[in-house]
Amino acid sequence: MSGTTFMPYDTYLGPEIDTMDVVEAMLRRPGSGIDAPAAILIEMVQGEGGLNCATSAWLKRLAGLAREIGSLLIIDDIQAGNGRTGTFFSFENYELDPDIVVLSKSLSGFGNPLSLVLIRPELDVWEPGEHNGTFRGNNLAFVGATAALETYWRSPDFEQDIAEKAELVARKLAQIVTALPIGAGRVKGRGLFTGIEFFDPEIATSVVAHLFESGVIIETCGPRDQVLKLLPALTIGRPELENCLALIEQSIIATYSNRSLQTVGFMISEPA
């Protein structure tokens, strides 16, 4: 939207450069061409951006900068929230105290449109009806969201169950990546918001198509659609999850096998 300036996320410029040095320079120094922003909006895990995760140290510097220059800190928990990264809010284990939190996606408990803007009372200066949007609450979504909160989140058992499933997923994805050619892929994300980034984006696209034929719907993310993104239901049963992970492994193996055969065929025919 107009009036928005995008800054480099943590590690975007490579491991040698701390992007917070860049952000601080642009927002602190006069003459940078960028005015102090009204708010800083951040995803703890970039959903469409490729499952990039910001470190605790980087986030603390960002929060400190926001306080220093008088900007509100907004956490975008639309994809990463509602338990997707393990805890209900994605920032719970990071000692962050945001001014505004936005929630949606899984909030209704079963996919019905619903969104919330959580805001500090002292910041709420809106008049009734002044703020509007397309994901307004509706009775069915309210019922689903209430049931999800009361059924699952009132007990720590649900969070523990998510952690166990996330560990299973991380372990299996790491096993898959280890079996790939060196540098071909890496595991990214947190909790049940995770996946595999492939050096060759066509691998991810091919795996998605292969999995669809096997009855598994999965998507890609990242600037080149190079990341295979897993978004299983938080309530998925362990047998179903294990079956899906096995199908993902089989699809990746099949994709690499097909590409190897194509490469061999090309190499054989090229000299002629």
Same domain for 121 and 208: no
Same domain for 147 and 161: no
Same domain for 81 and 190: no
Least confident segment among 50-64, 117-131, 153-167: 117-131
Q: Does any domain span residue 11?
A: no
CATH of the domain at 240: 3.90.1150.10
Write out pLDDT tens, residues 168-227. Answer: 999 999 999 999 988 899 999 999 999 999 999 999 999 999 999 999 999 999 999 999
Full residue range of the structural domain in which residue 90 is found: 19-153
Q: What is the tally of structural domains in the chain?
A: 2
Write out pLDDT tens, residues 133-180. Answer: 777 778 999 999 999 999 999 989 999 999 999 999 999 999 999 999
Domain boundary, last residue among 153, 179, 196: 153
CATH of the domain at 39: 3.40.640.10
Q: Does any domain span residue 27?
A: yes
Tokens 């980034």 correspond to what residue? 197
Identify the bridge partners of residue 72 per DSSP, sorted by sequence position: 39
Provide the CA 147 distance to its chain's centre, in angstroms.
Answer: 25
Across the beta sheet with 39-42, what order do the strands follow? Answer: 39-42, 72-76, 100-103, 116-119
The predicted pLDDT at position 267 comes to 33
DSSP state of 126: P
Cβ 69 vs Cβ 36: under 8 Å: yes
Q: Does any domain span residue 3?
A: no
The CB density around residue 215, as the number of other CB atoms within 10 Å, is: 9
This prediction has a pTM of 0.88
Provide the CA 131 distance to its chain's centre, in angstroms.
Answer: 26
Q: Does any domain span residue 91?
A: yes
Same domain for 139 and 29: yes
Q: Does any domain span residue 172?
A: yes
